């Protein structure tokens, strides 16, 4: 009886160790297929799997030695390495505690667990996107305000680069209008939980950052509406400015030819 007890005890110890290693390997294999797992984590898991495979081979050898002493069938590495989840590993059915009735061994329950994790991650992503959407909205409004200030200063000073700066700003504002259209689509979603109001960038003027004129103009452009005073010719340079720009271009051209 004592010898039989010792053999059984060694067998169960080897069985528990092999079970632990196989479960860890299966979990790591399962995690490799999760979309949220990053590249570095996948690389780390792959290296861990290589080391764990060696440990499992050793554990199988120990298990086979103890199983032979009590008349249990031996295991082969080729069969153990092909298991993809726990219920496929028949060795676990011979443990002291039967786990076949556990809820997590059912495929439906495992899929439900994965869906639950995806929903939790999606809710976290929504909270983050609410912040990013408001930041982008605020950045566009602040940029438009800065464009207006720079163009006003250049025009008042009669700076010859006003026309070039105006063209660049108009191109940028057209891009901003397209982005605002997407933001308006997000604001109109029935499940949108963020704020459609403009935020305040750290270090900026509160009154100017939340200027209702800039916000309404951007939203009007996003909806394709005409804004008051937008006649298309208000920012066209006059003849004197065009002459100054032409002289500047000729001067730069002469410098390039002379060099």
Please give the share of the chain, as a percent, with pLDDT higher than 70.
Answer: 64
Grade residue 228 by pLDDT with cuts at 50, 70 and 90.
very low
Amino acid 97: pLDDT: 65
What are the tokens at 38? 């990053």
Using 50, 70 and 90 to split pLDDT, how confident is the model at 176? very high
Instruction: Report the distance separating Cα 128 and Cα 85, nearest Å.
Output: 34
Q: Which of 167, 176, 170, 168 is nearest to 222 (CA)?
A: 176
> Among 45-54, 130-139, 144-153, 242-251, where is mean pLDDT lowest?
242-251
Q: What is the pLDDT of residue 124?
A: 93
Domain shared by 87 and 123, yes or no: no
Note the pLDDT of residue 26.
Answer: 75
User: Are 132 and 220 within one domain?
Assistant: yes
Q: Are residues 96 and 130 in the same domain?
A: no
Q: Whole-structure pTM over 0.75, yes or no?
A: no
Which residue, of 58, 81, 105, is where some domain finishes? Answer: 105
Residues 6+ apart with CB under 8 A from 158: 241, 244
CB 108 within 8 A of CB 53: no
Q: What is the pLDDT of residues 187-219, one digit of tens each?
A: 999 989 999 888 888 776 655 544 555 555 555
**Within a domain: 257:** no
- Distance CA(110)–CA(33), nearest Å, equals 14
The predicted-structure confidence for 130-167, as pLDDT tens digits, reads as follows 999 999 999 999 999 999 999 999 999 988 888 889 99
For residue 232, the 8-state DSSP code is: S
Domain finish residue from 56, 82, 105:
105
Final residue before a domain boundary, out of 52, 71, 105: 105
Where helices occur in the chain by DSSP H, the ranges are: 2-32, 39-69, 77-80, 107-157, 162-187, 206-209, 212-222, 239-258
pLDDT-wise least confident of 134-148, 213-227, 229-243: 213-227
Say whether both 7 and 29 belong to one domain.
yes
Please write down the long-range contacts of 173-176, taking CB distance under 8 Å and 24 or more positions apart: 173/144, 173/147, 173/221, 176/140, 176/143, 176/144, 176/218
What pLDDT band is residue 84 in, cutting at 50, 70 and 90?
low
Closest CA relative to residue 155, chosen from 142, 144, 143, 166: 166
Does 111 map to a domain? no
Lowest mean pLDDT among 47-61, 80-94, 225-239: 225-239
The DSSP secondary-structure symbol of 73 reads P
Nearest-angstrom CA–CA distance, 197 and 133 = 10
**Would you call 221 exposed, middle or buried from its count of C-beta atoms within 10 A (0-12, 13-18, 19+)?**
buried
Which DSSP letter does residue 204 get?
Answer: S
Same domain, 123 and 235: yes
Farthest-apart Cα atoms in the chain, separation: 112
When the pLDDT of each residue in the chain is averaged and rounded to a whole number, the result is 76
Domain for residue 19, yes or no? yes
Distance of alpha carbon 156 from alpha carbon 88, whole angstroms: 79
Number of domains in the chain: 2
Token pair, residue 184, equals 């308006």
- Cα–chain center distance at 255: 49
Domain span at residue 32 reads: 2-105
DSSP string, 112-125: HHHHHHHHHHHHHH
């Amino acid at each position: 009886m004592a010898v039989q007890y010792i053999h059984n005890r060694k067998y169960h110890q080897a069985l528990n160790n092999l079970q632990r290693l196989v479960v860890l390997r299966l979990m790591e294999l399962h995690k490799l297929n999760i979309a949220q797992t990053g590249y570095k984590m996948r690389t780390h898991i792959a290296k861990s799997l290589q080391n764990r495979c060696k440990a499992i081979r050793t554990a199988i050898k120990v298990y086979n030695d103890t199983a032979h002493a009590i008349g249990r069938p031996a295991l082969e590495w080729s069969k153990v390495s092909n298991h993809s989840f726990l219920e496929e590993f028949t060795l676990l059915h011979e443990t002291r505690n039967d786990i076949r009735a556990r809820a997590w061994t059912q495929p439906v329950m495992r899929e439900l667990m994965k869906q639950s994790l995806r929903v939790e991650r999606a809710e976290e992503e929504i909270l983050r996107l609410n912040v990013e959407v408001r930041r982008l909205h605020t950045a566009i409004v602040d940029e438009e305000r800065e464009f207006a200030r720079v163009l006003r200063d250049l025009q008042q000073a009669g700076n010859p680069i006003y026309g070039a700066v105006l063209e660049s700003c108009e191109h940028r504002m057209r891009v901003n209008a397209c982005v605002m259209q997407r933001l308006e689509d997000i604001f109109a979603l029935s499940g949108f939980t963020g704020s459609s109001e403009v935020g305040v960038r750290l270090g900026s003027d509160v009154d100017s950052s939340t200027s209702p004129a800039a916000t309404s103009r951007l939203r009007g452009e996003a909806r394709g509406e005409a804004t008051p005073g937008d006649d298309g010719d208000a920012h066209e340079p006059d003849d004197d400015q065009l002459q100054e720009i032409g002289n500047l271009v000729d001067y730069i051209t002469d410098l390039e030819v002379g060099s």
